[in-house]
Structure 1
Amino acid sequence: MHAIKGTPELTAVHSPFARKLGTFVALSDNEMSALERLHSRRRVFPAGRDMVHEGQVNQSAYMLASGWVCSYKILPGGTRQIVDFQIPGDFLGLRSVLFRTADHNIEPVTKVEASEVLASDLLETFNNTPRLATAVLWAASRDEAMVVEHLVNIGRRDAKERTAHFLLELGARLTLVGLGSNLGYACPLSQFVLADALGLSAVHVNRVLRELREAGLVTFRHGQVEIHDFERLVQLADFDRAYLDHDGPLLK
């Protein structure tokens, strides 16, 4: 882990995190200043080395500025279940700050740049700017809603529906922070990592992606998701983005 100097794209006003929170609340100058202070500890993490370990105490949280991260649990038999992926604009490890010990692992999928947030700084910010605290609570609630949807995905959707739904959700999340559209987005996930998240084998994921491509719906290869027929893909996955709550600021 290395500290880095501030750059314009990592300042609070330009950060993906501020853009994401702006979906819920129109941030005031005072709230942006508070957010800027939370961005003061910049860090770089290499791919493949955990930022947070399950069972770790006194853990910091992080606001992700660039790169992709996965949250995962290791089962007693040694197998891994990926719970979710985090993208720029996401708040990492909030539970790890509020709980006594971290309850999951967080591993960068790519090189990551993030702002480290100490528990004391977070609580002080929440005390001084309650609207900003409400916005962070909204972001955490949205993440919980996604985990619920992921449980439905694994438990009730077949492999093709599951994969389509996952790709659409990623697209919606990336579009929110200016990194995607209904036409597609860059995605650094391998089929092996995707398999861990979807509860499928890598061979099954490969077959499903081929079927989706041959059906003229979506192509995922060479780190790029290209959506050919957005409406049909939404119909196949029964994708209702209401749980993502992207319809505009609720607080002025």
Structure 2
Amino acid sequence: MTTKCDQCPLRQLPFFDDITHDQTAFMQRFKTGELQADAGSEILAEGASSAHLFTILSGMGLRYKSLPGGQRQVVGFVLPGDFIGLQSGVMGEMKHSVEATTQMSLCVFNRSELWSLFKHQPERAFDITHLAASEEHLLGQSLSAVGQLDGLAKVAWLLHLFYHRLTALGLSLNRGVPLPYRQQDIADALGLSLVHTNKCLGKLRAKGLLEWSDGRLDVYRHTELAALAQIADVEMPPRPLI
């Protein structure tokens, strides 16, 4: 059964900005359906053009670029509430791929109606711009972490980010959050070898800061983890939801 926009479970979370009744009605017209994606399936392909835009309703995935030598660079992770496919809508084709890590449910929007949104719903159009700016900010943070932190701090930074973002999405339970990614995904995102990533995780575990196993991340000492990751502010301000 397709989720109605006025009954969207994500809109009940304080992590997302409120929208008006008129905006909700427009989004319901903008939405054409829902897509169910199995774990491991490709949702958007690098170099391809998609007729659709998507908001992640549930599940998790990742964004990655394929390099000429066969390597893979993870450029981001996809979590509930994220809006994907805008590159294709604006630039004509995707510059990276998006793959489902778990079973995913996605709200589907017709790309051809994007201009109608900008014309008739300028506040919603600004929200899309806000999300694009937020992605740029996160990319800057990621580049700073990858370029300036040592391996242990890099892993601490990413796991700290996951914990607080997933907590804001209402997914925490008994100090833990679901984290279904592989160590290889973390390594590919941070520019580390799988062996180095595993050693860093072992050190964080030995320090009593966290435990990541069986698809679940438990954080026991938040302040020390943030200090190790050189993070001063963990505030998660509300953000738009398309």
**Fold equivalence (TM over 0.5):** yes
Identity %: 29
Q: Is the 8 A contact 2:59 2:80 kept in 1?
A: yes
SS of 1:83 mapped into structure 2: strand
Q: Paired residue for 1:136? A: 128
Q: Which runs of 5+ in 1 are unaligned?
A: none
Q: What letter matches 1:97 in structure 2?
A: G
Q: Paired residue for 2:139? A: 147
Q: CA deviation at 1:220?
A: 0.6
Q: Which runs of 5+ in 2 are unaligned?
A: none
SS of 1:162 mapped into structure 2: helix
Q: Paired residue for 2:47? A: 55
SS of 2:43 mapped into structure 1: coil
| Per-residue deviation, residues 49-79 of structure 1 (Å, max 9, x unmatched) | 2111111124422111111111110111010
* Aligned equivalents of 2:9, 2:140: Cα separation in 1: 24
Matched, 1:203 2:190: no
Q: Paired residue for 1:169? A: 161
SS of 2:114 mapped into structure 1: helix
Could you tell which deviates more after superposition, 65-74 or 233-242?
Answer: 233-242
Number of aligned positions between the proteins: 240
* Aligned equivalents of 1:54, 1:65: Cα separation in 2: 22
Could you tell which deviates more after superposition, 164-173 or 33-42?
Answer: 33-42
SS of 2:170 mapped into structure 1: coil
Matched, 1:11 2:4: yes
Cα 1:13/1:209, change in 2 over 3 Å: farther
TM-score, normalisation: structure 2? 0.90
TM-score, normalisation: structure 1? 0.87
Cα 1:241/1:180, change in 2 over 3 Å: farther
Q: Is the 8 A contact 1:19 1:177 kept in 2?
A: no
The residue correspondences of 1:176-191 to structure 2 (distance < 5 A) are: 176-180=168-172, 183-191=175-183
Q: What letter matches 2:73 in structure 1?
A: Q
Could you tell which deviates more after superposition, 27-36 or 173-182?
Answer: 173-182
Q: Paired residue for 1:113? A: 105
Q: Is the 8 A contact 2:43 2:99 kept in 1?
A: yes
Q: CA deviation at 1:122?
A: 2.5
Q: What letter matches 1:34 in structure 2?
A: F
Cα 1:162/1:15, change in 2 over 3 Å: farther
Q: What letter matches 2:63 in structure 1?
A: S
Q: What letter matches 1:83 in structure 2?
A: V
* Aligned equivalents of 1:241, 1:40: Cα separation in 2: 38
Q: Is the 8 A contact 1:168 1:234 kept in 2?
A: yes
Q: Is the 8 A contact 2:15 2:169 kept in 1?
A: no
Aligned alpha-carbon RMSD (Å) = 2.3
Q: CA deviation at 1:36?
A: 2.6
Cα 1:18/1:165, change in 2 over 3 Å: same
Out of 225, 230, 238, the position equivalent to 2:222 is 230
Out of 18, 38, 41, the position equivalent to 1:26 is 18
